[in-house]
Structure 1
Amino acid sequence: MTTSSIPAPTSNFLRTIIDNDLAQGRYQDKRWAGKPGPAAVHEQAPLDTARIRTRFPPEPNGYLHIGHAKSICLNFGLATDYQGACHLRFDDTNPEKEEDEYVKAIIEMVEWLGFDWKFRDEDNCYFASDYFQYMFTFAQALVQAGYAYVDEQSADEIRANRGTLTQKGSNSPWRDRPAQESLRLLSEMRDGKHPDGSMCLRARIDMGSPNMNMRDPVMYRIRHVPHHRTGDAWCIYPMYSWAHPVEDALERITHSICTLEFEDQRPFYDWILDRLVELGQLAEPLPRQYEFARLHLSYVVTSKRKLLQLVREGHVQGWDDPRMPTLAGLRRRGYTPASIRLFCERLGVSKADSRIDYSILEQALRDDLDPIALRSVAVLDPLKLIITNYPEGQTELCNAPRNPHDPAAGRREFPLSRELWIEREDFQEEPPKKYFRLFPGNMVRLKYGYIVRCTGCVKNENGEITEVHAEYLPDTKSGTPGSDSVKVKGNITWVSAAHAVQAEIRLYDRLFSEPHPDTGDKDFLLALNPDSCQVIQAWIEPGTSTTDEMPLQFERLGYFVADRNDSTAQKPVLNRAVTLKDSWAQKK
């Protein structure tokens, strides 16, 4: 695996495959009954009007993360581009970890990214659990034909007899049991007559196969666990490697696009489908599986187990914590659907694993927001500036573009008064060389306002600077004929102390301080960044939206968004989505 700070342009090899399939008419005779089903359901149906069918098949055992976004954009995007349909299918075959909460969260995030599963009059949202009876019927047919058997070995025995990469496996003592006996036991398994782990259904393929996945893989296991949709109706559940091809075929998927870890499973995928066609359970043309490299992002963990650990142990404040790589967390942080789609588009699609630097994701957000985000001003580390020659009680309006890239957005107005808040870093009593902001005797422009000359500062008994004093040059206001009469090198932002709105600002940064926090045997928790969230009280320009979900740019500081959970007009809370520049590049 290589590390890439700027991903090299990559072609989408899947488009070449689809182009060739369409040119050869591979799926031109495919029939679709308007709903999933076996051969008997589709054989008299009309020809499918969808040129291709893809699917996004999440397991509802957690929240979607940035890695899922790549698959979502790929599958839904290909379907749209080729006038096809993309199904949203919940692979809910593991009842111990799945919940309705996750189903709802997944639906919300796919829609938020800008995709839906409708094709003409079809609503293609499906659940693997809807196919449990089909799968059981298919399993019976395989047993009857001698392609599967019930095994009474324990899980440890099956594992021990499976062999190694260099040693063939050993046949189960139950491998040659009569089909009728396996059928009876399978029905008893289905009816709950046997305890967990006492037996399972295995495919009869080849215990000497060089592909470990073809050494009589397990198809069904017993689990006396209620399912979030089917309740106690079932106590045997299909393994993913068995359910996956069946689900695709029932839904008449043409291109089953998976990540690379499923490449070794493809022979079993094809074996299952070929046997079920042979037995008359499924109709051709069959789906085909293709693999692409999954997203590996630096400074991030995407293991659902580890993400759940972060939540349950309180290292973050829930699945939508803005530091989390979940789509819910990214949305709350200030990422837009367009920025995530742009990020995925820039990655391209390939079969070569690489680790993408987190800065690529951040730059996609900057590139999306810069042309559209409204501007405002905030002072995060406030220091009082008093313009000593400005009349007390006087206020005047200054104005600035809402967005310098979009004249149609208009201009905003904000007050200037005698006392202002400025950033503490914009004043130094003894400045270093090439420091062009405020220091005694120096002149700077108050951005969109007047030029001021610093006359000194006030300190408390601890020697800390509490006020900066300056005098303004009356004829130098921005936008007036005299604005260019005096040339200065410094330009600082400010807000009127009498009019500024106090806000809580959450300065979010990367959750981990190491680029690869969970590689090898490392404890990923040891790489948590202690400075990943800093909460400060700041002053923001009056009129700044503190309830809108669209991020804005605080000039000089970065892009911020009102926190969707906590911010109100009375008590604004804003999250920093991303800085204006890559601050981490400076730390390296």
Structure 2
Amino acid sequence: MEDLTSRLERIGLADAKVKEILKNEKVAAALGQIAQEAGYSSAAPTLLHHLALASRTATPEQIANRKLVSEAIASGKLLTTNQVDAAWKYVSSTQAPSVAELEKESGVGVVVTKEDVEKAVRAYIQENKTEVEKQRYKALSTVLMAVKKLPSMKWASPALFKPAIDAEFLAVLGPKDERDNPKLQAKQAKAKASKDAKAPVVSAVKHEQPHARSIFREGFLAGLHRPGENEQADPCLMEAHLKTTGGKVVTRFPPEPNGVLHIGHAKAIATDFGYAKYHGGVCYLRFDDTNPETEDAEFAKSIEDIVQWLGFAPYKITWSSDYFDALYELAEKLISRGLAYVCFCTPEQVKRHRGINEDGTRGGERTPCECRSASPERTLELFREMRDGKFKRGEATLRMKQDLSNPNPQMWDLVAYRIVDAPHHRTGTKWKIYPTYDFTHCLVDSFENISHSLCTLEFRLSRESYEWLCDAVQVYKPAQREFGRLNLTGSVMSKRKLLKLVEGGYVRGWDDPRLYTLVALRRRGVPPGAILNFISELGVTTTTSQTEVIRFDNSIRKYLENTVPRLMLIPDPIKVVLDNLDDDFVEEIVLPFKPGTPEMGEHKVPFSKVVYIDRSDFREEASSNYFRLAMGQSVGLLRVPYTIKATSVEKDAYGEITVVHAIYENDGTAKKPKTFIQWVGESAKHNSPIKVAEVHEFNQLFKSENPSANPDGFLADIDPNSEHVWKKALIEVGFNEVCEKSPWNPADDSASKDEKIMSGHDVKGAPEAVRFQALRVGYFCMDKDSHDSSIVLNRIVTLKEDKSKE
């Protein structure tokens, strides 16, 4: 056997492998012959061994043909076990095999790259996404078998499939959780079914019988775990957590104070605060202020105001900087456990070690840097030098020692601390190093005993590193769960793009009513309850999608339809003189603030010899499909007993109509009008009409539904006609009472628990809380630039599809 041993060693097999093979005489003998056939090539010992396994029981005739396969392996033509199998199948079943046919049958020259496999896996999972999301990780083996059987994957290396499928499952489903743990699910089901089960946890979450649709009882939020059901590495940590929280739901909303919130954040606020409130728990408002160069106290104040405007009260307002000392202590603990190191690599070197190519694509070999092997003692010494300012910015970072072989990039030794020698707005110059989001977020969640760390899907891959770090420093591990974010078409949400719009003067500020920041929506007059209503309609799911802005407008319109009074507004007034009425004629007309809703009350407006109508409601020449005021044609004035008919006009030097003369047809001879128009009467006694300095009618800021797709950049997609301003508008005197009573929030004793939670909180006296429907025009609110002698109105949304006023 010594001779055979030498032959096996010559083809590059390790001693241990040789010893293992020699235990099977048939395989060893076959491999010894194959080694000789291959010229003792050491290029692919694994493939030669695979051929030996396949041909260990071959007939003499088949063995005679085998040399073709052995030579093809040695020459590098056969690269995978699939090719070897196909080649052996060909030569073992053919009397006179040829090299050309062997190469054809075994796919020689056909190269299936790692990228090809990843693309095929991604396409297959997308085509079968519904089933994959339903089965979750149970579908792994099914997908693996199915992708391998794809014709295009016939010659792919088997080793490429599982890493690609693991990575795609992670991207689509996120890390495994309780849904992928059958034992835990069975245990929970058994505990629920047993009336006298001695459960270690008493949950404060109450599950009510549904009587209406609820985002808290349906979809993503309904499937969340109860407090205490998120597993811990050490059960004692859960006991301490529950002792502190009393088994209540504890959530947090953790924005960075470096910009204003947008409509997407409203969904996060409603989810974080609403879920806790629904279950009788609490929610923190926590400012993630780990970057001293971008934080701004004004942004923090704006965020706090918006949260309250949406109707939520934080349990506590905290800052990540409150925990800087505790975070530093855990960083030292991580080092002492050999799970962190100080890295001196440049950003380019870090990318190379992570297998990231120069063009930004992934797939290269991931390797540890030299810094990773430093002892805990040396690492602690270097980290303290970082703390004490002995290194310059960019020279050193503290990185977590995670798992470079993991397909999840969030496990590729993330940075825990970096040097930022800048004063912090709350801690001053105490620190020269600051923790990263990846280090801070999960640990502060742990400090605050968060039971449900809810975030959007872009953090799905971060869940694994989140849980790894909590376990690594041996603290309570909250459960991170991810939901789909809210995106609207025809808008931009990124802070960078919003900043360009503001600083470039394309909009008047962060609260320009054409933006979808929450301060802009508030200024535009969108009620907080309408925003929350919209979120409730969409629901909370695990899918990110683009929602058409028209759907948002429809939701706002529906909300306003039921909650605001009606008034008559004339954006572009033209004077109408009723020549057959006395100069001092005045009749008070009673108008309901909302027809059919007597509880909203009524008010009186003066009807007199001089009234004002909108210029768009008059034509000199009538037509067959035009029913408003025209020469010789009658029209009704809303709530006025009789019609009016135009008789003549006055014009200025430019031919513009300045006055319409008409008669009030109160003799009973006029027919019932085909339409009615809004109007405002002139009466000094009633201080009517009320002049409006400006009426702003806003349209979508961008021309397209996807401004970011414009080849010239999103700024090139701005619509120059996105705003129109009327500067001579008039409004009826009922406006004064509307201002006094705003915000109009009719009591609704039948409101459900969800509706009460998602109702919002308008501030009494705030201009944007003065909302009304301008009959036949749209929904409006007062702008913050209004004052006693100058009223400015903003259009919230248009009326329903009244494309023509004919």
* Shorter-chain TM-score above 0.5: yes
Relative to 1, partners in 2 of residues 1:137 and 1:28: Cα closer, same or farther, differing over 3 Å? closer
**Contact 2:710 2:717 survives alignment (8 Å):** no
Deviation at 1:54, TM superposition (A): 1.2
Deviation at 1:66, TM superposition (A): 0.8
Normalized per residue, the structure richer in helix is 2
- What residue in structure 2 maps to residue 403 of structure 1? 594
Amino acid at match of 2:626: Y
Superposition map of 1:302-321 within 5 A: 302-321=493-512
Distance 2:713 2:442 in 1: 36
Secondary structure in 2 aligned to 1:209? coil
Distance 1:235 1:134 in 2: 16
Superposition map of 1:31-180 within 5 A: 43=240, 46-118=243-315, 124-164=316-356, 165-180=362-377
- What residue in structure 2 maps to residue 264 of structure 1? 461
Distance 1:211 1:88 in 2: 30
Structure 1, unpaired ranges of 5+: 2-7, 32-37, 119-123, 477-481
Q: Does 1:387 align with 2:592?
A: no
Amino acid at match of 1:190: R
Amino acid at match of 2:613: I
Q: Deviations over 1:420-447 (max 9, x none)?
A: 2111111112233321111122111111
Q: Deviations over 1:154-180 (max 9, x none)?
A: 222212322133222221111101111
Amino acid at match of 1:556: R
- What residue in structure 2 maps to residue 517 of structure 1? 707
Q: Does 1:369 align with 2:560?
A: yes
Deviation at 1:14, TM superposition (A): 2.9
Distance 1:203 1:29 in 2: 21
Superposition map of 1:143-222 within 5 A: 143-164=335-356, 165-222=362-419
Distance 2:490 2:367 in 1: 43
Q: Deviations over 1:73-93 (max 9, x none)?
A: 011111111111111111111
Distance 1:535 1:110 in 2: 31
Secondary structure in 2 aligned to 1:359? helix
Superposition map of 1:181-580 within 5 A: 181-277=378-474, 282-283=475-476, 286-449=477-640, 450-474=642-666, 486-498=671-683, 499-503=688-692, 504-519=694-709, 523-537=713-727, 538-545=729-736, 548=767, 549-564=769-784, 566-580=785-799
Distance 2:218 2:269 in 1: 15
Secondary structure in 1 aligned to 2:423? coil
Give the one of 5, 10, 16 matched to 2:222: 16
Secondary structure in 1 aligned to 2:465? helix
Deviation at 1:29, TM superposition (A): 11
Normalized per residue, the structure richer in strand is 1
CA RMSD of aligned residues (A): 2.7
Structure 2, unpaired ranges of 5+: 1-125, 127-212, 357-361, 740-764
Q: Deviations over 1:228-259 (max 9, x none)?
A: 11111111111111111111111111111111
Moved more, 107-116 or 236-245: 236-245
Distance 1:68 1:219 in 2: 26
TM-score norm. by structure 1 comes to: 0.88
Amino acid at match of 2:628: R
Secondary structure in 1 aligned to 2:473? helix
Amino acid at match of 2:559: D
**Contact 2:453 2:481 survives alignment (8 Å):** yes
Secondary structure in 2 aligned to 1:188? helix
Amino acid at match of 2:378: E
Secondary structure in 2 aligned to 1:384? strand
Distance 2:459 2:392 in 1: 30
Distance 1:525 1:45 in 2: 51
Secondary structure in 1 aligned to 2:421? coil
Deviation at 1:505, TM superposition (A): 1.0
Moved more, 456-465 or 422-431: 456-465
Distance 1:14 1:350 in 2: 5
**Contact 2:613 2:678 survives alignment (8 Å):** yes
Distance 1:419 1:64 in 2: 48
- What residue in structure 2 maps to residue 34 of structure 1? none
Amino acid at match of 2:795: R
Amino acid at match of 1:445: G
Q: Deviations over 1:128-186 (max 9, x none)?
A: 11111111111111111111100011222212322133222221111101111110111
TM-score norm. by structure 2 comes to: 0.65
Relative to 1, partners in 2 of residues 1:396 and 1:288: Cα closer, same or farther, differing over 3 Å? same
Amino acid at match of 2:689: A
Q: Deviations over 1:202-229 (max 9, x none)?
A: 1112223222221111111101111111
Q: Deviations over 1:382-414 (max 9, x none)?
A: 122121111123222112101224202221111
Secondary structure in 2 aligned to 1:21? coil
Distance 2:639 2:667 in 1: 13
**Contact 2:637 2:643 survives alignment (8 Å):** yes
Secondary structure in 1 aligned to 2:676? strand
- What residue in structure 2 maps to residue 35 of structure 1? none
Distance 2:592 2:222 in 1: 46
Secondary structure in 2 aligned to 1:241? helix
**Contact 1:559 1:578 survives alignment (8 Å):** yes
Distance 2:307 2:575 in 1: 46
Greater relative CO, 1 or 2 (CA 8 Å, sep 6+): 1
Tell me how many residue pairs correspond in the alignment. Answer: 550
Relative to 1, partners in 2 of residues 1:71 and 1:313: Cα closer, same or farther, differing over 3 Å? same
**Contact 2:487 2:546 survives alignment (8 Å):** yes
Relative to 1, partners in 2 of residues 1:222 and 1:405: Cα closer, same or farther, differing over 3 Å? farther
Relative to 1, partners in 2 of residues 1:457 and 1:45: Cα closer, same or farther, differing over 3 Å? closer
Deviation at 1:126, TM superposition (A): 1.2
Deviation at 1:49, TM superposition (A): 2.5
Distance 1:405 1:532 in 2: 35
**Contact 1:9 1:347 survives alignment (8 Å):** no
Deviation at 1:543, TM superposition (A): 4.0
Deviation at 1:486, TM superposition (A): 3.5
Relative to 1, partners in 2 of residues 1:144 and 1:86: Cα closer, same or farther, differing over 3 Å? same
- What residue in structure 2 maps to residue 479 of structure 1? none
Amino acid at match of 1:421: Y
Amino acid at match of 2:222: T
Distance 1:290 1:178 in 2: 35
